[in-house]
Amino acid sequence: MQSATGKMINAYVPGRGNLPADQAAMAERRARLLGPAYRLFYETPVHLIRGQGVHLYDADGQAYLDCYNNVASVGHCHPRVIEAMSTQAATLATHTRYLHDGVLTLAERLLALFPPELSHAMFTCTGSEANDLAYRIARAATGGSGVIVTDNAYHGVTLATAGMSMSIGPAVAPGPGVFAIAAPTPANYPEGVASGFAAAVTAACGQMRAQGIRPAMLIVDTVFSSDGVWPDPAGFLADAAAAIRAEGGLFLADEVQPGFGRLGTSMWGFQRHGVVPDMVSLGKPMGNGYPVAGLVIRPEVIAAFGAQSRYFNTFGGNPVSAAAALAVLDVIRDEGLMENAARTGAVFRDSLAGLASDRFGEVRGAGLFIGVDIVQDGQPAPDRAVRLVNLLREERILISATGAQGHILKLRPPLPFSEDNAAQVVETIARLLPRL
Amino acid sequence: MQSATGKMINAYVPGRGNLPADQAAMAERRARLLGPAYRLFYETPVHLIRGQGVHLYDADGQAYLDCYNNVASVGHCHPRVIEAMSTQAATLATHTRYLHDGVLTLAERLLALFPPELSHAMFTCTGSEANDLAYRIARAATGGSGVIVTDNAYHGVTLATAGMSMSIGPAVAPGPGVFAIAAPTPANYPEGVASGFAAAVTAACGQMRAQGIRPAMLIVDTVFSSDGVWPDPAGFLADAAAAIRAEGGLFLADEVQPGFGRLGTSMWGFQRHGVVPDMVSLGKPMGNGYPVAGLVIRPEVIAAFGAQSRYFNTFGGNPVSAAAALAVLDVIRDEGLMENAARTGAVFRDSLAGLASDRFGEVRGAGLFIGVDIVQDGQPAPDRAVRLVNLLREERILISATGAQGHILKLRPPLPFSEDNAAQVVETIARLLPRL
């Protein structure tokens, strides 16, 4: 099962929209220079030139409330992160084949945020590289190559991880050994999400073995972002992790989107499920925009890979990336951003739930990661969802939509988001709903 | 054919060397925190805390002459690059799904440095990601999956590109469809490197087809860095490119190491060979340490991929990466670094050739990319090469060794390297040679 068309939700269609002449020229320049594989957001794309806190600004100085971007997670252009990054970049930017304290301090600070079983950290530049490395490690550890993903998963853009990313659509073939199972929703598993999802893992392993493939790993985004945001009931992932382990495979928690405190009650999504993964991949918000990502791993899992091969990533773990990532951890702690995600997220979700109607369906989420079903006659209404996303853009509020059918609003603001910011979004949606 | 052991050349063996207590503690901390897949350079690793120009500095303020690091290619911590990066990071750091001028200006400036046939640019964070993307594109364009590499190639660390990197050693299996051919050396092709190497490409395509695999691409580092630095005779690659095209495959020039003016007479290594590739991958020196990389490509090559799939790299082409990469292009131009690479490189190579002896063999190279065979009784002498690398480290000059047997010195300094810097290296080597 894959998304029906593979078309990107909320993609700009060149030549349409109400772009002013100078921006239309930019869009044409993009197509000419960057080629046919790049996409812009929105019916009428946004030209942004500045960011600060939870706001982005266009060339006319108009402010957009950012309710979407999870990379600048501690706020756009946070001065502590900029300062740490700039100072280190002016001091030294080499690599991990010389001794340097930065990468070690980062590893220590990061590992202190994980259960003690997960005691090694490795560093890459992107979440794609982290998941790709995890797969290489899983193959060495298990001797298998089979991978289980959910049916609208997104895990990266390398050949191996794009093959695990059903959400890119049918034009990108699943990789050899990749088996997709239905996302953990009550509709897909009416007998119970925990037992049903675990049974699907076991069944997929059976299909693999029937094709002569041994299981290597189950990989899931722990909030199931691209499947439409499915955080509950907390705890349901433990059975699936047990199921893949019973088959000799590993459990990889992809925390690239949910990680770093966004879910409010814990730094990592897997912690809500009472399970300790074999590997955890990290990315997007890790450097608040600086390209840094990584993998946290059990020693017994990396042993086989480490005995066979070395790992070197030219930029991964360099002193500048370490300084940026350390500053992000400092800011999350000192500004209480995880606590804010819990508090503001709860208020935000409650307020959104108050808009419930025949158009505005279930509100799901944890902390500041929120999904809302947009429906018509009880059925998914992707056209309405995309229309709302674009109406909000005209009101200078940035969100997007997700899910295999594209009918689920995705709200995922920078973590310093306030209750006033949330109120602005809710009031604006309330005003726009009759126009869907 | 693979490197005999897959052991990393010049890797630190934990517990050995003459590390002071504080650095020994750092090395132990590394093993505990980062796990078994990380490696340090040198019998006695170096702890560096500062960089400027062509020098790196340790905690005691001792200067090391950098004759190895090609990432900080315009000089360590170049103030123009730092300024451009820091200013943009404090202004905006989003992604390519909003309009922004930075990525477009970078694409324009970059493409102006290429033949007109190569008219699209795509951006990633690492050279690994660029080569991995190129392979995805080549598969879509050709319908094939076969890849030809040289027998000690290095092209990246993702699953797909590690499978193209014979230099990682036999523990990392070649990817499915990857065929290695002998590097373009006179010893391997006594009948002539151009015709011999091209014939090897054709023969590998025949082997592929016999296994039911269609050729997708030939990928080579255009200075054959990890094969031991083989730049001459300039022009020899044209026949190999014609050979892969005659078989329906594409020619990918990996410029991650040779690119950005290092070879002195042209910005890109392929230009020395009078050939226009189908795709060109860029990386390491592109942002002088900031993680930015990319792919330059013919429109007809990306057409099939672009029609099927979109490409999005969260950090790739972000405004900060564009600012850093633009500053690097400015500095290369304004400081005449390509011209310096040609001029200083020629003097450096001539001086090194003057050391010729029964230990110090052939000197090869172009611009500031230099390889020197270290021999004993006319045979490769990897132990002597590693000893010289470590003796130079004690003299605070940083170089390394390369090649399938590890007996070839690799000299690859930042481009502002001066004739005085070169003289210091040559004089020091002359003094150390009797100790090998």
Note the pLDDT of residue B6. Answer: 57
- Judge: B159–A136 Cβ closer than 8 Å, yes or no: yes
Note the pLDDT of residue B171. Answer: 72
- Judge: A158–B160 Cβ closer than 8 Å, yes or no: yes
Is A90 exposed, middle or buried (CB count within 10 Å of its CB: 0-12, 13-18, 19+)? buried
Domain map (residue ranges) of chain A: 46-74+336-435, 79-334
Q: CA–CA separation, B262 vs B255, rounded Å?
A: 10
3-state secondary structure of A276: coil
Cβ-Cβ contacts under 8 Å between A and B: the total is 317
Q: Which of A8, A82, A256, A314 to mutate to test the interface with B (most CBs of B within 10 A)?
A: A314
- Judge: B93–A111 Cβ closer than 8 Å, yes or no: no
- Judge: B289–A89 Cβ closer than 8 Å, yes or no: yes
- Judge: B308–A172 Cβ closer than 8 Å, yes or no: yes
Residues B357-364 have a mean pLDDT of 96
Residues 55-94 of B with CB under 8 A from A: 56, 69, 71-72, 76-77, 79, 82, 85-86, 89-94
Q: How far does B270 lie from chain A, in Å, by closest CA?
A: 21
- Give the chain A residue nearest B293 (alpha carbons): A315
CATH 3.40.640.10 matches A79-334: yes
- Judge: B36–A303 Cβ closer than 8 Å, yes or no: yes
DSSP β-ladder status, A397-398 and B178-181: unpaired
Q: Give the other-Cβ count within 10 Å of A341's Cβ.
A: 27
Residues facing residue A149 across a β-bridge: A180
- Judge: A309–B168 Cβ closer than 8 Å, yes or no: yes
Pick the closest to residue B131 from B226, B19, B217 (CA basis).
Answer: B217
Q: How many residues can be counted in chain B?
A: 436
Pick the closest to residue A31 from A7, A43, A15 (CA basis).
Answer: A15
Taking the Cβ of residue A129 and every Cβ of chain B, the question of whether any pair is shorter than 8 Å is answered with yes
Q: What are the C-alpha distances in Å from A228 to residues A150, A178, A343, A417, A430?
A: 11, 21, 22, 21, 21
DSSP classification of residue A233: S
> Would you call the peptide bond into A233 cis, given omega within 30 degrees of 0 as the criterion?
yes
Our CA angle for B283, B285, B291, nearest 5°, is: 60
Residues 305-364 of B with CB under 8 A from A: 305-315, 317-318, 320-321
Taking the Cβ of residue B304 and every Cβ of chain A, the question of whether any pair is shorter than 8 Å is answered with no
- Judge: A49–B93 Cβ closer than 8 Å, yes or no: no
* DSSP codes joined into one string, B192-242: -HHHHHHHHHHHHHHHHHHTT--EEEEEEETT-TTTT----STTTHHHHHH
Confidence of residue A172 (pLDDT cuts 50, 70, 90): confident
Residues 10-29 of B with CB under 8 A from A: 11, 23, 26-27, 29
Pick the closest to residue B177 from B207, B197, B141 (CA basis).
Answer: B207
Confidence of residue A7 (pLDDT cuts 50, 70, 90): confident
Residues A11-19 have a mean pLDDT of 88
Residues A368-390 have a mean pLDDT of 97
Residues B241-245 have a mean pLDDT of 98
Q: How far does B237 lie from chain A, in Å, by closest CA?
A: 27
Torsion sign across C-alpha atoms A355, A361, A362, A368:
negative
Helix ranges restricted to H, A59-218 = 79-89, 101-111, 127-142, 159-162, 193-210
Q: How far does A132 lie from chain B, in Å, by closest CA?
A: 6
Of B90, B97, B120, the CB nearest to A82: B90
For the CA atoms of A9, A11, A13, A19, the dihedral, rounded to the nearest 10 degrees, stands at 140
Are A150 and A181 spatial neighbours (Cβ–Cβ below 8 Å)? yes
Note the pLDDT of residue A6. Answer: 57
Note the pLDDT of residue B1. Answer: 28
Q: Residue B420: which residues within 8 A CB-CB, separation 6 or more? A: none
Confidence of residue A3 (pLDDT cuts 50, 70, 90): very low
DSSP classification of residue B115: -
pLDDT in tens, A184-203: 999 999 999 999 999 999 99
pLDDT in tens, B41-90: 999 999 999 999 999 999 999 999 999 999 999 999 999 999 999 999 99
Note the pLDDT of residue A171. Answer: 72
Quickly name the fold that domain A46-74+336-435 has: Aspartate Aminotransferase, domain 1 (3.90.1150)
Taking the Cβ of residue A8 and every Cβ of chain B, the question of whether any pair is shorter than 8 Å is answered with yes
Of B33, B159, B317, the CB nearest to A108: B33
Taking the Cβ of residue A50 and every Cβ of chain B, the question of whether any pair is shorter than 8 Å is answered with yes
- Judge: B136–A85 Cβ closer than 8 Å, yes or no: no
Q: Is residue B2 pLDDT above 50, yes or no?
A: no
Taking the Cβ of residue B36 and every Cβ of chain A, the question of whether any pair is shorter than 8 Å is answered with yes
Residues facing residue B362 across a β-bridge: none
Q: Is residue B170 pLDDT above 90, yes or no?
A: no
pLDDT in tens, A212-233: 999 999 999 999 999 999 999 9
Q: Residue B33: which residues within 8 A CB-CB, separation 6 or more? A: A104, A107, A108, A111, A119, A120, A121
CATH 3.90.1150.10 matches B21-74+337-435: yes
Confidence of residue A4 (pLDDT cuts 50, 70, 90): very low
